[in-house]
Amino acid sequence: MRILKTLNQPVFSSFYGISLEIKREDLIHPFVSGNKFRKLKYNLLQTKSEDKDTLLTFGGAFSNHIAAVAAAGKENGFRTIGVIRGEELRNGFGDNPTLNFASNCGMEFDFISREEYRKKTTQDFILQLKKNWGDFYLIPEGGTNDLAVLGCQEILEESDADFDFICCSVGTGGTISGLINSSKSHQKIIGFPALNGDFLKEEIRKFATNERWELIDDYVFGGYAKHSTELITFINRFFSETSIPLDPVYTGKMVFGVIDMIRNNYFPKDAKILMIHTGGLQGIDGMNMKLQKQHSPLLLKDV
Ligand SMILES: *Cc1c(COP(=O)(O)O)cnc(C)c1O
C-alpha cells in the first residue's frame, strides 16, 4: 500500500476568528479509504509475517471497512472473505455498490443472520468459520485492534503541532485512539460518534494513553447510517462551497457538529481546529440508492 499524499486544506479563512482546516485523509488512497488505510497497514504486515494468505472480516452491506479490506486484499495478493450481516443477501445483492465493488476485488462472502452476527466474536463461531473457509488472519468488525491504533497514530504529523483541537468521527474508536496517542500535550481530541452507545468510551480507554479527549454525542442524527434531510442539505452545501465531499455516515456528522459548535462559541476565539477527513466516500452511492427509493433529495458527488 502506498500513501499518495496528505494535506491540510483551509475550510473557511476567517470564521469567527477561528482557523478551521481539514486533513484530507480521504485522498491517501483511491480505494482504501482514509482511516481504513491506516488501520489496515500494520495488520497487512502482520498477516504476511504470520505467513497467512487470507483475510477474513465482518461488516454490514454498505460498510467502508468491507470495501477497504477487499481493495487492500486485491492490491496485496491476499484472498479476502467478508462475513456480512443479512442472510437475505444470499439470494443476491442487486446493485448494492459496496458489495459489487468488493466482489469485483475478489472478495468472497458469507451472508449470516443478524442473530448469528451477534456471536461473531465467540470462539465457537470463529472455529466454525475456520472449518468452512480454512485458516485466515482475522480483522475485527470496523478493523479496530492494537495494530490499527498504531497505524492511526501516523495520521497526525509534526506539521499539525500548531492545532489546538483535533476533531474526528468515531465508529468503533480505533481512529480517535490513535489520534489521542500521537497528539501533543497542548492538544485536545474531540470525537463525534456516528452511532449511539455507551460502550464507546470504554473501548477508547482500552487503547488511549492519555485523557485529553472528549466525545460529543449531540450530532449522531438518530443512529448509525441514519440520515436526515438537514444533514444531507448540509453536506451538499458544504460541497458546493468548498468542493470537499463528505460522507453521510461519518464525516458529514462531524463537520456539521464542529461548525455548529463554533457558532455556539464552544471554542475559544483564536482556536486552531483541525478536522480529520476519514474518507468513507464510497458510502455515498449506497446512501443515494436508499434516498432515491424514498424520493428524498440525493447527495451531490464529485464524479
Ligand atoms: C470507519 C470509519 C470511521 C470510524 O472509525 P473508527 O476507528 O471505527 O472509530 C470514521 N470515518 C469513516 C469515514 C469511516 O469509514
Say which amino acid occupies 146. D
Residue ID of nearest Cα to ligand 1 atom 13: 280
Hey, which residues does 165 pair with through a beta bridge? 188, 273
DSSP at 296? P
What sign does the CA torsion over 224, 225, 226, 227 have? positive
Q: Left, alpha or beta for 172 (phi > 0: left; psi -120 to 50: alpha)?
A: alpha
In sequence order, the 6+-apart residues with CB closer than 8 A to the CB of 281 are 26, 33, 245, 247, 301, 302
How confident is the model over 243-293, as pLDDT tens digits? 999 999 999 999 999 999 998 999 998 999 999 999 999 999 999 999 999
How confident is the model over 162-215, as pLDDT tens digits? 999 999 999 999 999 999 999 999 999 999 999 998 899 999 999 999 999 999
Q: Which residue has the cell 428524498?
A: 296
Which residues form the pocket of ligand 1, taking CB atoms under 6 Å from any ligand atom? 34-36, 64-65, 142, 144, 169-176, 247, 250-251, 278-280
**% pLDDT > 70, the chain:** 96
Q: Per the structure block, which three cell numbers stand in for 44?
A: 497487512
CB 10 within 8 A of CB 53: no
In sequence order, the 6+-apart residues with CB closer than 8 A to the CB of 202 are none
One-character DSSP codes across 179-232:
HHHHS-TT-EEEEEESS--THHHHHHHHH-SS--EEE--S--TTSTT---HHHH
How confident is the model over 74-93, as pLDDT tens digits? 999 999 999 999 999 999 99
Name the residue of 64, 147, 219 to mutate for ligand 1: max ligand atoms within 8 A of Cβ: 64
Q: How far is the CA of 24 from the centre of ligand 1 (A)?
A: 14
Q: Per the structure block, which three cell numbers stand in for 215?
A: 466525545
* Its pTM surpasses 0.75: yes
How confident is the model over 38-78, as pLDDT tens digits? 999 999 999 999 999 999 999 999 999 999 999 999 999 99
10 Å CB burial of residue 76 (0-12, 13-18, 19+) is middle
CB 75 within 8 A of CB 37: no
Q: How far is the CA of 265 from the centre of ligand 1 (A)?
A: 27
Q: Left, alpha or beta for 11 (phi > 0: left; psi -120 to 50: alpha)?
A: alpha
Residue ID of nearest Cα to ligand 1 atom 5: 171
Q: How far is the CA of 144 from the centre of ligand 1 (A)?
A: 9
